[in-house]
Chain A
Amino acid sequence: MNREWIKVIIAAFFEVCWVVGLKHADNSLTWAGTVLSIVVSFYLLVKSGEKLPVGTAYAVFVGLGTAGTVLSDIAFFGEPFKPVKILLIVILLAGVIGLKLVEDEKKGEEA
């Protein structure tokens, strides 16, 4: 695993932080943390895209981000575990990842 992929993973971590913040922030400190997380997440994702194939990096990022938000919902905020809902989220995620990977495939063919 190289530095670029570590950036993607840290970006996804901050992505989950700001989603939690957008829902639960209730004072200036938590809102500041939310905005900071958005900036850090974006910055790292854009930076990693300079070296990695953008579609693949985004696919990994969004996969980790979605898994993180769903798990945080259930683990920390008492959201009930509904298999049908999780399945639909997984299907949606598969669509997003598929779309992003097709983009890299296409660029690979052009190159």
Chain B
Amino acid sequence: MAWAALVVAGMFEMFGVTMINKLHKDKSWQPFILLVAGFAGSFLFLAYALQTLPMGTAYAIWTGIGAAGGAITGMVLYGESKHWKRVLFIIVILGAAVGLKLVS
């Protein structure tokens, strides 16, 4: 369950980061409220995952899912660059996260 919670926390993080980008473009209340809600959800699930997982592993995976997920969202929804370097780094992040799950 801790690993599932960690993935959900990473997804909330990803949503929060997307809202930060939206807030930079459009300084209004709506993305700000969604941003706070996204990060609140993220911390809630991360706190649950941390009850059983070590901090270093949980934190690295949490930021990794946030960063990789944010880049994938950007590519799919906002037409951001699909440069091979970005794709490579996403694969590196996800591969390392899976590896951490396997050695834990």
Contact = CB atoms under 8 A, between A and B. Distances in A.
B40 to A, nearest CB: 10
B59 A99 contact: no
Q: Is the interface of B mostly helix, strand, loop or mixed?
A: helix
Bin the interface of chain B by size: 35 or more
Contacts, number: 105
Interface of A: 19-20, 22-23, 38, 42, 46, 62, 65-66, 69-70, 72-74, 77, 79, 82, 84-86, 88-89, 91-96, 98-100, 102, 106
A91 B95 CA distance: 9
B85 A82 contact: no
B60 A89 contact: yes
Interface string B11-24: 00000000010000
20 contacts: A19-B55, A19-B59, A22-B43, A23-B51, A65-B59, A70-B55, A73-B54, A85-B56, A85-B104, A88-B103, A89-B57, A91-B92, A91-B95, A91-B99, A92-B100, A95-B68, A98-B85, A99-B68, A99-B89, A102-B85
